[in-house]
Structure formats: structure tokens, C-alpha cells
A = this chain, B = another copy of it.
Amino acid sequence: MIRRRGQGAPRPWQLLALSLVLPPALWAAGGDSPLPDLLLVIAAMLAAGKLLGELAERLGLPSVLGELVAGLLLGPSLLGIVPTGTAPGADMVAVLAELGVIMLLFEVGLETDLKQMAKVGGAALAVAIVGVTVPFALGYGYWAHLPHPIMGDGGDIATVAIFIGAALTATSVGITARVLGDLGAMETPEARIILGAAVIDDIIGLVILSVASGIAAGSAVTAAGVATTFAVAVGFLVAVVMLGNILMPRLADRVSRMRARGMVVALSLAFALALAAFAAKVGSALIIGAFAAGLVLKGTRHFHTVEEQVKPVAAVLAPIFFVNVGAAANLGMLDPRQPESGGLLLLAGTLTLLAIVGKVVAGWAAPWVPFRRLAVGVGMVPRGEVGLIFADAGRQAGLLSGATFSAVLMMVMATTFLAPVGLKLIFSGRGRAT
């Protein structure tokens, strides 16, 4: 029975089998001692998330899909390992997940090259603006003005419509960059436009999230209120980045001379956490602060050290966020015997359609520059992390019901699944013209 094939990487079925067996085995070891049980839950989330993430990458898909599927598996609708709602430990997992989001956006900030972006310039900006406004308009218009399944959401229809629209605006830089890299297409004009536009989308998306969070927190949906929140978010970003670019290089030089071990990573993190909290205090979103912290540290000579040390911390905390988001979805509603199941599928399908159409048309936003419109449009489709952050914020604010949240999550997963497949077809295809 011993088949020697050397020390190869595990086969996909082995990954699947392990991630199905390991978490329940860990869980079965649990009992009613709070701390060890919490540790087992975190271990199960990390193991299942990473193993299914690996499986997804083997299948040519972004690993975030695997982490979400791990959440679905470990969530209350299937295995019930991840505590949600008021279950003991749920608040601890939620805090770790929030730290994961902060690390994620901190990392995105560290990887965002504002100078590089300025070069792609006009075309990327045009694509980004169309790629934000069209999906937002489609999502908002559909929810506010067209008939759709009623899902028992917690806010008035206009507020929920803003969240739906906002969740459609994001573009995942990470996923697209990874797929383009895998295809060896990183140096094409299309890739540079997609990545530039995706970063601008992230920034616009974060600002929209601030506005949406303000509304969720109770500010009225008035033009003046929206304008104020918008101004605060943009002002915060601009002020922090400008001030940071003046003060941080010297400060970072000094910190890099210190001797105590782990100084750089601990102080960088303290900076990101403080800016995140500060952003929330001035009426913007936590993740705007974390993103700004990354942008500021990117401007110092020491950012490679920071990035290298922050990556392991993010690699541990980010999966907790994605698995936790997956766990919040209610798969039970998809059961055809449930009265809501039809409406949920219809809703998820419609949102996915709007999400794809809204981004693909963005490919045609800069007619004065020649590039493959369809490639750019499809490259903008994956919603990934940022879409999930929107959906999660809406759910936590009590605006999106479990069903609506699940539909948005399905939309995010579908776009994240379809875009890499589409990009591969396009970039391995023949033509270079539109």
C-alpha cells in the first residue's frame, strides 16, 4: 500500500479531506473551558481556511474563495464550529476578525504605489469612476425603485439601497493582480489600467463606506450629510498622507535604529491601530485609517522591512476575517423547502448580473486610449475583500438581514470566481484589438 511519490505537495483531494476532517476533530476535543475552546476554534478556522484556500489556488481560483467556503463549512448552517451572534466566544472571534480587516487594509496601503498610479493617469481614473458609479447606480436603482424579493432588512429602503449599491462598487486589487501575475500579463497596458483603477476604486469605495457607515449610525440621508462624511473621509486621507509624508521618514529612520527586537512591526501596528481608531473617531471608517497608515509607511525607506514583518501577522489574522464572514452566511435558506430560497437565489443572481455589467462597461470608459476594453472590464469584476467588508458592515449595523447579506456574499463569491476564469479566456485568446 506504500506508494512513494517523493515529498510532493498534497493532492487536492487530500486538502479537501483534511479540511473536512480536521476542524470537527479539533472541535470534538472541545468542552466547556472557555479559553482552550476559543483556541481550538481559532485553530480550526486557520487550518480549514488555509487548506481550502490552497485547494482554491490549485483549481486556479483566488484563495479567498477557499477561505469563504471554509467559513460556510464551519458556520452555523453546517458544522456550527465558529460561534456567531451571542454564542460564547463570538465577540472574541469578531475582535480578531476586525483586527484581520485592519491588517488587510494596512497591507493594501503598503502595496499601493501612488506615484505608479499617477502614471496610468487619465484612463485608469476614467475606468475607476465609471466602474464605481455605474454599479452603484444599478444596485441603488434596483433596490430603491424596482421590485425585488423582500428580505426583512432592518433599515428603510433607501438606506439599504445605499449599502447594496456600495457593495457593488469595490474592486479587489489583490485578486486581479494575482490572476494577471499568474497569466504573465502584468506588463500589458490592460493590467496597468486595471490595477490603477482598482486602487482608485478602493479609495472611492472606502469613502463610500464611511458615508454608508455614517448613515447606518443614524445620520439622515441628506445631501449635506453625505457631503460632510465624504469630505471628512477624503480630508482624513489627504491630511494623514501629507502630514505622514513630512513626519514619518525621519521617525521611521529613528525607529529603525532601535535595538529591541520586534520594534518595527510592533510600532507599525500600533500606528495602524491608532490611525484606524482615530479615523473612526472623526466620523470616518476604521479601515480608512488602516489604509492611510499603510500609505504613509509606504513613503519611507523602511517600508520593505515593515511589509515583510507585517505580512506574517496579516497572514494569521486575515483568514479569521474571511472565515468569519463565510460563517455569517445562512446556507439553510437555500434549502428549496424554505419559502425564501427562491427569492434568495433570484436576488443573488440579479446582484451578480448587475455587478458584472456595471464593471464590464467601465472597460469602455476611456475611448481615447487604445486597449482591450473587454479585458479591462472583466479585470474589474472581482469584488473580493472590500465587497465583503461592505457586506459585513451592513450586517453588523443591523441594516442587511441575514438573507440579504447571504445574497451579497454570493454575489461577491460569484464575481470572484468568474473573473479569473474570464481573464484566462481573454488573455489566452488571440486578438490584441478591442
Contacts and interface: CB of A to CB of B under 8 A. Distances in A.
A278 B277 CA distance: 35
Contacts of A66: 260
A36 B92 contact: no
Interface in A127-158: none
A43 B265 CA distance: 12
A153 to B, nearest CB: 23
A250 B281 contact: no
Given A29-B281, A250-B7, A278-B29, A63 B260 contact: yes
B250 A35 contact: no
A161 interface: no
Contact of A259 (B47, B54, B273, B276): B54
B63 A257 contact: no
Contact of A260 (B54, B92, B95, B280): B54
Contacts of A267: 46-47, 50
Contact of A42 (B262, B273, B309): B273
Interface in A41-57: 42-44, 46-47, 49-50, 53-54, 56-57
Choose among A257, A265, A274 the residue with the greatest number of B CB atoms under 10 Å from its CB: A274
B92 A7 contact: no
Interface in A233-252: 250
A261 B315 contact: yes
Nearest to A314: B262
Interface in A305-326: 309-316, 318-319
Contacts of A250: 7
A81 to B, nearest CB: 13
Choose among A9, A43, A267 the residue with the greatest number of B CB atoms under 10 Å from its CB: A43
A75 B24 CA distance: 40
A164 B319 CA distance: 41
A74 B35 CA distance: 25
A39 B270 CA distance: 8
Choose among A8, A50, A63, A267 the residue with the greatest number of B CB atoms under 10 Å from its CB: A50
Contact of A254 (B10, B257, B315): B10
Contacts of A266: 46, 49-50, 315-316, 319
A37 B274 CA distance: 9
A316 B313 contact: yes
Nearest to A269: B316
Nearest to A55: B260
B276 A36 contact: yes
Choose among A39, A258, A314 the residue with the greatest number of B CB atoms under 10 Å from its CB: A39
A202 interface: no
B47 A270 contact: yes
Contacts of A315: 261-263, 265-266, 309
Given A54-B258, A267-B50, A274-B40, A31 B316 contact: no
A113 interface: no
11 contacts: A29-B277, A29-B281, A33-B281, A39-B102, A39-B274, A43-B277, A46-B273, A49-B266, A54-B263, A56-B260, A312-B312
Given A39-B286, A42-B273, A43-B269, 4 more contacts: A33-B281, A50-B263, A265-B316, A310-B312
Interface of A: 7-10, 26, 29-31, 33, 35-40, 42-44, 46-47, 49-50, 53-54, 56-58, 63, 66, 91-92, 95, 98, 102, 250, 253-254, 257-263, 265-267, 269-271, 273-274, 276-278, 280-281, 286, 309-316, 318-319
